Structure 1
Amino acid sequence: MSSVLVFDIETVPDISAARQVYDWHDLSDQDTLAGLSLKRRIETGNDFPKHFLHQVVAISAVLKTAEGVKIWSIGDVADDEANLLQRFFDGIGRFQPTLVSWNGGGFDLPVLHYRALKHGIQAQAYWDMGDFNRERKWHNYISRYQFAHIDLMDVMAGYQPRANAKLDEIALLLGLPGKMGLSGAGVLEQFQAGDIQGIRDYCELDVINTYLIYLRFQLMRGWLDPSSYQANIDELAELLKSSSHSHWQAYYQAWHSIQPSKDIKVSAWPEK
């Protein structure tokens, strides 16, 4: 398996940008948020802000390389959005990984594009479509049907929006803990309370779920055989089990309670 970077972001509405775009300079933060919600409900029937009005407050990742697997949130709790974005795109330039997401093509990447544009972030390796490296013409992060970026939701739905599913639903379908009672709807409240660490912890659980779904996907498409698939499962389980991070341990315990066995197995394999 080549280098793989599974990623997820958490965002909050960018109040200052909304004031600038819509000329709401006289509105308070609360009134600006209310105005954004009302505007979007009128336009679309829901209050989800436009992609460019999402401020990135956390980017979490699972990095799988030949040396092993790593889980972390990019940067530090005190880092601003520009720093998080630059670190993310620098990592892509360094590792040239296969990117993996759940709805990354529909949400995460467009948000990252707009916000990187806002901050003047340089990301040559990410945007390269063959201009700097000819191989990227046929294997790049931008083209929808190339697997340099695998949006698992998009791929599994056969690129048909009506067949889309939520990450939590598919995680539960596969016998994984899913979001464990958490929800992205609470991120703004956590952000306003100053609980950035809590947001990062929540985001890390999402990338753990996504990574495990990705392993099953690789098994299904023949890029992992049953033994190597199980080896990757065991590697992650051991990392979570031995971690000092309470949310990782809680995920492991929930996962273990769903799949009670000496070694966590998401599927049983018939003997030859």
Structure 2
Amino acid sequence: MSAVLVFDIETVPDIASARQVYGWQELSDQDCLAALSLKRRIETGSDFPKHFLHQVVAISAVLKTADDVKIWSIGEVDDNEASLLQRFFDGIGRFQPTLVTWNGGGFDLPVLHYRALKHGINAQAYWDMGDFNRERKWHNYISRYQFAHIDLMDVMAGYQPRANAKLDEISLMLGLPGKMGLSGAGVLEQYLAGDIQGIRDYCELDVINTYLIYLRFQLMRGWLDQAAYQHTQAELTEVLKNSTHSHWQAYHQAWQAMQSTQN
């Protein structure tokens, strides 16, 4: 089987770029952040920054190959954004995986595009639409309706925004632990407190949820039969159960508890 890379990113507002773009050189970081939030609320009713003003602070992934499944956060805790991005795109070049996300087409990938542009990141394999590898003309990461990248939210909604659902909602519907009390709204607070590891841990739980939804999707579309579906779930269960990471163990215990109530 070809490799499958399920990934998710966590971001914080890029205050330095906002200051440069909007001419807020005289504002402190705190005042710049407040001004950015106010500007967005006036424009859209939400204080969520524009995609290019999201600084990537964590990229977490599940990599499924024919022989193994691996969960990790890319790079090291003290790596800067450019290093995280280059490692991510280098991995795509190395494994040529199927990319899987939840709302990746609407958020994660546009953010990565802008931030890679900012840092001058080499991402040739990702952007190849047949210029370097002719097969990529019909199977590339950029075209919305090709499955080199599967945005599960977009696909399940039939490409209709009004049918979109949140990752946490679908996770809970399927008997998965979901966010486990965390939310993306707390990422900035964790970042300001210097808790990058906590952000990475939270992001890893999101990709575990997404991976398990992807397995159910593969069962539904006939790419996994029931035996293969059970095997891949059991494979992940072993990784979580035997891990020394407390957040993986907590996820496993919550998952098992939810399964027991459904049986």
| AA in 2 matched with 1:131 | D
User: What is the percent sequence identity of the aligned residues?
Assistant: 85
Q: Which amino acid aligns with 2:90?
A: D
Question: Is 1:125 aligned to residue 128 of structure 2?
Answer: no
Task: State the partner residue of 1:106.
Answer: 106
Q: How does 1:1-272 map to 2 (within 5 A)?
A: 1-260=1-260
Backbone CA RMSD of aligned residues: 1.0
Match for 1:76: what amino acid? E
Q: TM-score if structure 2 supplies the norm length?
A: 0.99
> Secondary structure of 2:260's match?
coil
Deviation for aligned residue 1:66: 1.1
> In 2, distance between residues paired with 1:132 and 1:171?
38
Q: Give the drift of 1:260.
A: 2.3
How big is the shift at 1:2?
2.0
Partners in 2 of 1:129 and 1:79 — Cα distance?
A: 30
> C-alpha offsets along residues 154-178 of structure 1, whole Å, 9 cap, x if unaligned?
0000000000000000000000000
Count of residue pairs brought into register by the alignment = 263
Which residue identity is paired with 1:190? Q
Q: In structure 2, how many angstroms separate the alpha carbons of the residues matched to 1:222 and 1:42?
A: 46
Report the AA paired with residue 10 of structure 2: E
Report the Cα distance in structure 2 between the residues aligned to 1:222 and 1:67, rounded to whole angstroms.
20
Distance 2:220 2:173 in 1: 15
CA distance in 1, matches of 2:52, 2:67: 36
| Structure 1 gap ranges (5+) | none
Letter in 1 for 2:69: V
- Partners of 1:67 and 1:258 in 2: CA distance: 28
Q: TM-score, normalized by length of structure 1?
A: 0.96
What secondary structure is seen at the aligned counterpart in 2 of 1:111?
Answer: helix
For the residue of structure 2 that corresponds to 1:78, the secondary structure is coil
SS state at 1:60 partner: strand
